[in-house]
Structure 1
Amino acid sequence: MATFFSEYFGIDAETLDSYGALNISIVNDLPLFIDPFLLFNSENGEYRVLHDAMIDYLVFLRDRSAKGPVSDALLSSWYCFGEVRQNWLGFSISGNGGTGLGMDFARALHSNLHSLFSDFGEEKITEGSHLEKVCLISDGVGRDNISDFTTNLIKDYLCRYTEQFAAQHLKPSDVRRVAVEKVRFNYETETWQRATYALPWVKDDFVILTPKDILTRDENWINKSDLLGDFQQIPTAISDGELRAQVENYFYKILRKPGRRRKPSSKERSEAARRTLLEFPQLIDYYIKLKEQHGEEATDISAEKVLATEYMFIRQIAEIQHTLFRETAFYGTNGGTYEEAHARVSYLRDVIENKGGHRLFYHEGKPIQREKDLQILYRLVWFGTPSEVGTEANDGRGPVDFKISRGAHDKTLIEMKLAKNTQLERNLEKQVPIYQAASDAKNAIKVIIYFSITELRKVTKILKKLGMADNKDIVLIDARDDNKPSGSKA
């Protein structure tokens, strides 16, 4: 029933920590990704060499872009990479699969390098060049694209990093020699080449470890949200007074609509910022310069985010799993998927409400804010079932959180919701029945977690309104921190 790398290979988690690697889950992606800025800003010379190599490759792509259109075959060869699922990191709550980088990404990046960033690799304003620059304007290149691209461009390093750990700490039987595609670029032949490594083997695939000090969560340090949201700070960094005046005039000209008396909305300000950036693309470099000047914050903030992720998704999960294993029949439930799902929810509820498991949902005294985090936590705890657990299963009418199945005729759906969800009433009334029909599932269980008496009252009111107050398939879990007695008072 191993959930994490250390458990599967029978090594101490501190061994990974001393090596600097994240103790990844081998059941589900953890919500972390590599931020290329952490390579650029690192004191580790090897990381900076990796960043330089990434920029060299982007310069090659820029030069080829400047020569005009290329065939789809070359675009695919140079830009399209599969997600590196073997590192078990990313934005999916469904196992470790992902879409990778396809032709939409290839065309968007190829176009940007030629039209908007012809000086890429030769910037005069910033201290260096940055891969993230190409995602700041185009809607076709986003955070997940940058993450996948970065991981692929340093895949050779990650494989060697993992290979070294395996040689030092794993048994020979735990390792296999595997050929990994597209790890080194040959500039003479302009082709990607494979290489062979001795890597840890889990079930039917190899595994890649990642250093924690290049990981972050939520957003890259250089990101579009900050660019648009903090746009008005950028002109202050422009030393050219004439350019600064032109930028400010253009920006406020867009906002000044005839006859408008109210203040512009945040959406309108973001759109004005986007249009101004298209008119003055050099502003991108001034924004990046501001980010470079505060680079130490990126390192500190990312380290805090990784620590919080480790605490919530690794340490707390291990503790809850041990409690479930020792004190309940959670991992030995019989019956079909409906009985199993109900029993497991009941056991989990008991641990959360009565055995200190509510701590799973808190970090530094604050409850989790996102349902995706809740779903990842639930998926990690659910491990060790004879049923197939599908997350975000989509059978034609939209994704449902979990589909528990044993063959084609035994399916149960589970929706995990936070009580504060503004769409909770709509979900209870309409979405789950639609999902059931689309999945041909006879049963659906709705689990709602609340963190305050106010949230409980809200849920109770909704259930009464919908006539669901006594529905056994709606399970409320009390995760209030202030409602749990201490051991001395219990």
Structure 2
Amino acid sequence: MIYFSDVFGVEPEVVDTYGAFNIALVNDLPLFVDPFLLFDSERPEYRELHDDIIKYLVFVRDRAQADELTEGAISQWLFFREVKQNWLGFSRQGNSGTGLGKHFAEALARNFKRVFRNFGDETLTRSSHLEKLGLLSGGVGRDHLSDFTTNLIKGYLLKYTEDFAAAHLQPGQLKRVHIERVAFNYETRRWQSGHFMLPWHAGDYVILTPCEMLTRDEAWINQGDMVSQFFQLRLSLPDEALRAQVNDHFLRQISERSTQEERKAAALRTIEQFTDLIDYYIKWKEDHAAEAHAVSTAKVQQTHAQFVENIRELVLKHLIGTEFYERGDSYEEALQRAKYLKHVIEDNDGYRVFYVDGKPVKRESDLHTMFRLTWYATAFDVNAEVNNGRGPVDYKVSKGKQNASLVEFKLASNSSLRRNLEKQVEVYAKASQTEKSIKVIMYFSDRELEKVTGILRELKLKDREDIVLIDAGRDNKPSASNA
């Protein structure tokens, strides 16, 4: 059982109707809370959550500017653990990320003391925005902003989950849990704990999150988007003298031969010099708020289709109750699973799950997550991106040190495929002291197949057992016209 609805015995439609995302209790899914969706929500309680976030940030700003961020204060106010129980975020394996520690606290304090001293008192924009703290180089990273947001609204999410559990789950599926840092007391300047009756699974509680506050890839306000709009931002400056200074600062950094990346770097340095541009950018994003909801809704729906609907269909229709979940040796386990998936994808319409809105999977990270979800019933340890100092391999499947194999999933469209085939797994095999490794390469067209077979032939790797090619193309399948 992979998903919340399956584990707790409720119909997926019940979770959907409640408005929550049907999370996978095996691996994080690539979604996160975008605070802008709280700011512009039609729901008063969401807007109140955003106000509470800004109130807390202003409190921290004041403490930073008063030099009150001692080591003890930082520990109390800015050190947060990742809220792993929501099973969302940027973790490639399981649901354990890095949380918020010293570097996050230092970046936040640095921004408040040097660049954003007026945070909370902006006049150009309708509100202050947490995302502002991640717009400059050396600022707060995307994953940390996501973790911070989730921590600051954790009390709401816990109550949201508790209400669902009370209405739809059985008492035996719940546990009363004491949870720290659910509300901040501004009089005592301390976080307070609380008790909640929550869904309990595999030794931990579970948190549900409303789909309305989720997005994928980037928040509506983000650095990459700001830099891409630099030209329009310059034109939007009402002060002609300031506009001339901005143009001069930017143009002195580039030449006709400057690359696109060099121009972007120059734009970011210019924005850092003239930070008024940031507020003009945020104002533009506020003025186009309706697009934020449309974009995020589409991303959440695509994520649900790709990682919930498609994988659920693959497992329930093709994998569960089959030899896919019955192996012993780690190499045999991984190889036979790869071969069985090949059979399901090529011969039993399993290829459908690798398409969303008629388009094939384009990111290998998505492919990795989809495969990881199918391993939910294994007795083996399946660890993502083994880090032994020599570069990444997607998974290490193991039962102890002597029974371990390396598995790597690649898209044939990957421009680095040749280099990867030459070096990566072989290097890992030496570093991990195991000789067993498997590559799974998925292709979607005859052209991609020709590319892969050509590389394998040149490298004398063709027809190797441990290199599994999977045809996920639609045009050569008998039922493609019905897809």
TM class, shorter-length: over 0.9
| One-letter identity of the residue aligned with 1:378 | F
For 2:257 and 2:212, the matched residues in 1 are separated by: 42
Matched, 1:385 2:388: no
Comparing 220-229 with 60-69, greater Cα deviation is found at 60-69
- Corresponding residue for residue 259 of structure 1: none
- Corresponding residue for residue 405 of structure 2: 412
1:213 aligned counterpart, secondary structure = helix
For 1:251 and 1:362, the matched residues in 2 are separated by: 42
Matched, 1:469 2:468: no
| One-letter identity of the residue aligned with 1:356 | D
Comparing 420-429 with 32-41, greater Cα deviation is found at 420-429
- Corresponding residue for residue 59 of structure 1: 58
2:455 aligned counterpart, secondary structure = helix
For 2:229 and 2:258, the matched residues in 1 are separated by: 15
Identity of aligned residues (%): 52
1:141 aligned counterpart, secondary structure = coil
| One-letter identity of the residue aligned with 2:402 | H
2:394 aligned counterpart, secondary structure = strand
Is the CA contact 2:397–2:405 (under 8 Å) kept in the aligned structure 1? yes
For 2:218 and 2:480, the matched residues in 1 are separated by: 40
- Corresponding residue for residue 253 of structure 1: 252
In the TM superposition, residue 395 of structure 1 has moved relative to its aligned partner by 2.9
- Corresponding residue for residue 195 of structure 1: 194
Normalised TM-score (structure 1): 0.96
For 2:275 and 2:197, the matched residues in 1 are separated by: 45
Report how many aligned residue pairs link the two structures: 482
Is the CA contact 2:349–2:479 (under 8 Å) kept in the aligned structure 1? no
Q: Superposed, which structure 2 residues align to 1:205-224 within 5 Å?
A: 205-224=204-223
CA RMSD of aligned residues (A): 1.5
For 1:10 and 1:130, the matched residues in 2 are separated by: 39
In the TM superposition, residue 140 of structure 1 has moved relative to its aligned partner by 4.1
In the TM superposition, residue 178 of structure 1 has moved relative to its aligned partner by 0.6
Is the CA contact 1:112–1:138 (under 8 Å) kept in the aligned structure 2? no
Is the CA contact 2:5–2:22 (under 8 Å) kept in the aligned structure 1? yes
Q: Superposed, which structure 2 residues align to 1:282-361 within 5 Å?
A: 282-325=276-319, 328-331=322-325, 333-361=326-354
- Corresponding residue for residue 226 of structure 1: 225
In the TM superposition, residue 458 of structure 1 has moved relative to its aligned partner by 0.9
1:73-125 Cα distance to aligned partner (Å, 9 max, x none): 22222112111100000111200000011111110110101211111111011
For 2:173 and 2:429, the matched residues in 1 are separated by: 42
Normalised TM-score (structure 2): 0.97
- Corresponding residue for residue 270 of structure 1: 264
In the TM superposition, residue 132 of structure 1 has moved relative to its aligned partner by 0.3
1:399 aligned counterpart, secondary structure = coil
| One-letter identity of the residue aligned with 1:427 | N
For 2:384 and 2:481, the matched residues in 1 are separated by: 40
| One-letter identity of the residue aligned with 1:291 | K
For 1:398 and 1:250, the matched residues in 2 are separated by: 39
Is the CA contact 1:175–1:201 (under 8 Å) kept in the aligned structure 2? yes
**Which ranges of structure 1 fall in alignment gaps of 5 or more residues?**
257-261
In the TM superposition, residue 364 of structure 1 has moved relative to its aligned partner by 1.4
In the TM superposition, residue 255 of structure 1 has moved relative to its aligned partner by 2.2
In the TM superposition, residue 381 of structure 1 has moved relative to its aligned partner by 1.1
For 2:277 and 2:35, the matched residues in 1 are separated by: 20
For 1:212 and 1:141, the matched residues in 2 are separated by: 24
Matched, 1:402 2:381: no
Rate the CA distance shift 1:456–1:222 in 2: closer, same or farther, 3 A. Answer: same
For 1:390 and 1:72, the matched residues in 2 are separated by: 35
- Corresponding residue for residue 442 of structure 1: 435
Comparing 391-400 with 106-115, greater Cα deviation is found at 391-400
- Corresponding residue for residue 374 of structure 1: 367
For 2:312 and 2:214, the matched residues in 1 are separated by: 21
Is the CA contact 1:328–1:347 (under 8 Å) kept in the aligned structure 2? no
Is the CA contact 1:324–1:347 (under 8 Å) kept in the aligned structure 2? no
Rate the CA distance shift 1:487–1:263 in 2: closer, same or farther, 3 A. Answer: closer
For 2:161 and 2:227, the matched residues in 1 are separated by: 38
In the TM superposition, residue 24 of structure 1 has moved relative to its aligned partner by 0.4
In the TM superposition, residue 434 of structure 1 has moved relative to its aligned partner by 1.5
In the TM superposition, residue 69 of structure 1 has moved relative to its aligned partner by 5.9
| One-letter identity of the residue aligned with 1:71 | T
| One-letter identity of the residue aligned with 2:406 | L
| One-letter identity of the residue aligned with 1:399 | P
Runs of 4+ in 1 over 4 A off after TM superposition: none
Matched, 1:86 2:56: no
In the TM superposition, residue 488 of structure 1 has moved relative to its aligned partner by 9.3
In the TM superposition, residue 399 of structure 1 has moved relative to its aligned partner by 2.7
In the TM superposition, residue 487 of structure 1 has moved relative to its aligned partner by 8.2
